[in-house]
A and B are shown apart, each in its own frame.
Chain A
Amino acid sequence: MTSGTLLRAARPVALIVGASSGIGEALARHLAKEGYAVALVARRIEVLRKLAAEINQGHADPIAFPFAHDTTHYTEIPTLFQQISQQAPGLELVVYAAGIMPTLAPDEFDFTKDQSILDINLLGAIAWLNEAAKRFSQTKRGTIVGIGSVAGDRGRRGNTVYAASKAALDTYLESLRNRLAPHDVHVLTVKPGPVRTPMTAHLKNQPFIIEPHQAAMRIAKAIHSRRNIVYVPGIWRPIMWIIRQIPSFLFRKMSF
């Protein structure tokens, strides 16, 4: 479970940004069960406190630590990152799971909306994961996880900037992986299909939709086996391979 030393007394720490709901929340619960201590970061502190209390149940010393933070306040991040590592020593895993997917009408081109997508899905991820990269490249260990999406694999007509933000994140993570490989740091890109979370609640008839706890289990497995890219669930890997092969002149005529 640990990438460090064998005889450690304390739990390794996983830092999860966007831990108040969805995949982030499920991952926090799952990792705590696996023996991690979890540092939880999100805007809504009451929600986090409740989650932390649930995770801490049955443990003499707390293993979940909530931190309130709006991920678009980029300048706070380096200081907060240090605070977290002081309060929960032993960071081994950093997950960026914050993300938004506003609905877009077919004729809508709203820059304000687009900008907030990029702020949260991309710039927030870069701000947090850069900190993780800096630390792990010095300590020569650790795992960085970014949550991309199958949507980033192809520019569908449905959600332009959401797809673009996930595609950019995908490329950023690949670059990070190549940059950190000499330092023994593992970078995992997660590409989930639809997961039953608040983000997808307004969408109907999603194919191969899974529950957040199922997604968390699969992501945790990919973390332990040091995978580079994991599709969640796995069926999306062949599907997306086929979809990527479709030539653009045909793709634009298709209905999805």
Chain B
Amino acid sequence: MQQALLSGGLVLSSRMERMRGWGMSHGADMYATRPTTVEQAQRILERAHEEGVKITLRGSGQSYGDASIGQDRVLLDLTRMRRVLAWDPINGVIDVEPGVRIVDLWHYTLEDGWWPPVVSGTMRTSLGGGLGVNIHGKNSFKYGTLGDHVLEIDVLTGDGRLLTCSPSQHRDIFYAVIGSGGVLGVITRIRLQMKRVYSGEVLVETFSTRSIQEMIDVMEAHLDQDYLVGWVDALAPGFQLGRGTLHVARNLQEGEDKRPHHTLKLSYQELPEVFLGFVPKSMLWMGLWMFLHRPGMRLVNTAKFHADRREASRPPYRQSHAGFNFLLDYVPGWQKSYQPGGLIQYQTFVPKAAARQVFEQQILLSQKAGIPPFLAVLKKHLPDPFLMSYNVDGYSFALDYPVRERNQRRLHRLAHEMTEIVIQHGGRFYFAKDGILTENEFKRSFPADRLRQLRSLKSQLDPSGILTSDMADRIGLLKE
């Protein structure tokens, strides 16, 4: 059917669809194609080449901004390539197609005692998309990025070749394709090393912290643990600036869990279906919507801070992997509570020494601009070996801002102000997220020799420049 569909040309015969970034603040009209095999994807690339049209790749569409959309481009949606190709439960090595999502992955492997090495805050992320922007998780300070655990990938290059790349084979392509936002080629197969777990639970400890400095200090004292994630109440006024909650967790050792066969069951990992005993989770975002303004969020944040303080006074407790990792899935479609403008997530990575100062300034500037972030998350990171790495040896601060008709200009001004401070302190940006970083800002924050290297690979792998995205165009990723 796909072949017949393409007989009239990609653009003339494909249906147009309105695609949005997950945060709903970015959208684009695209000619939708959804291949189910590598050959079909290959054929779409060929046709695009013949017709002189450009292609933007998309997985399950979970990135906040404009990484998976391209205005009037051909959409190459990989969600229908979603098979597990091979699974070795002895060594924990799995081969999957790019549309396989994190949820599909652990559903397949957990009962054998394996958990994905790195997961995002939602389990809906596809592995192809997740590698395209090289995602990280709450264990970033110890386990790095998702790309760090990939053993091998097949890449369909822009000019239609199929290359197998790994840290030893086509090394430069391997380290460039992962994390460059889908502008070099399509990842069509992923071989991933899973992580051995001896229980379906992690041991969680909660700390209530009074400032960002205190949070960082507590993090530094727990580097032997597996997960560190800090929530900051960015609406708290001056004397309570930077107060928050730190969750520290570790995987259980062999033998610590007396009933692993029970906790490793998929049914044990299920997130709650109803809240307060009767509210279905699919309706929760509507309730959240009522609080999506400054006084409302101040109330919610203050309530959370104090509830966490009580939790912090209790001894450590056990929580399922899914329950601990996938906070964003507790309220499905919660981004809809930001309607109609949507949200952006602005995440910056700052070296250790400057982190506290930069993040505090970000909160102060946001409060001064009258747009405090409704959610602020602090994580610790390691440098990684990928060409387009956003990581530094330090910390990241992820801030969720509502986008409204009346705050657009202020939000742009605020983002640019905060960006200058980050650049001054040698920080980097997760450009797949914010959707607001400009070409000039990006190029001042990113090493020029790496961009040259990316462009040289681009001319080898996709010489006619078929693959692009609104994100790549926005930050001038491929421009001189």
Contact = CB atoms under 8 A, between A and B. Distances in A.
Contacts of B344: 7
A5 B474 CA distance: 16
Interface stretch (A93-101, A132-140, A143-151): A132-140
Interface in A1-29: 4-10
Interface string B258-296: 000000000000000000000000000000000000000
Contacts of A91: 29, 72
B17 interface: yes
A133 B24 CA distance: 24
B7 to A, nearest CB: 16
A6 B338 CA distance: 12
A216 to B, nearest CB: 25
B71 A139 contact: no
A62 interface: no
Contacts of A112: none
A78 B53 CA distance: 16
A139 B18 contact: yes
Interface residues of B, number: 31
Contact of A139 (B16, B342, B408, B473): B16
B74 to A, nearest CB: 10
Contacts, number: 62
A91 B31 CA distance: 13
Given A4-B27, A5-B24, A5-B342, A10 B16 contact: no
B16 A6 contact: no
Task: Give me the 5 closest cross-chain CB pairs, A-B, nearest first.
Answer: A89-B72, A138-B16, A89-B71, A139-B29, A5-B27
Contacts of B27: 4-5, 8
Interface residues of A, number: 20
Contacts of B15: 138
Interface in B104-137: none
A21 B435 CA distance: 39
B356 interface: no
Nearest to B73: A89
A86 B72 contact: yes
Contacts of B436: 7
B25 A5 contact: yes
A138 B17 contact: yes
B405 interface: yes
B353 interface: no
Interface of A: 4-10, 78-79, 82, 85-86, 89-91, 135, 138-141
Nearest to A89: B72
A9 B440 CA distance: 14
A90 B24 CA distance: 17
A23 to B, nearest CB: 27
Given A5-B27, A7-B25, A9-B470, A86 B53 contact: yes
A105 to B, nearest CB: 45
Contacts of A86: 11, 52-53, 72
B404 A6 contact: yes
A91 B72 CA distance: 9
Given A86-B11, A86-B72, A6 B408 contact: yes
Interface string B22-33: 001111110000
Nearest to A12: B71
A82 B11 contact: yes
B10 to A, nearest CB: 10
A7 B435 contact: yes
B403 A7 contact: yes
Contacts of B435: 7
Nearest to A90: B71
15 contacts: A6-B342, A6-B403, A6-B405, A7-B408, A7-B411, A7-B435, A7-B436, A8-B26, A10-B71, A86-B52, A89-B72, A138-B16, A139-B16, A139-B17, A141-B18
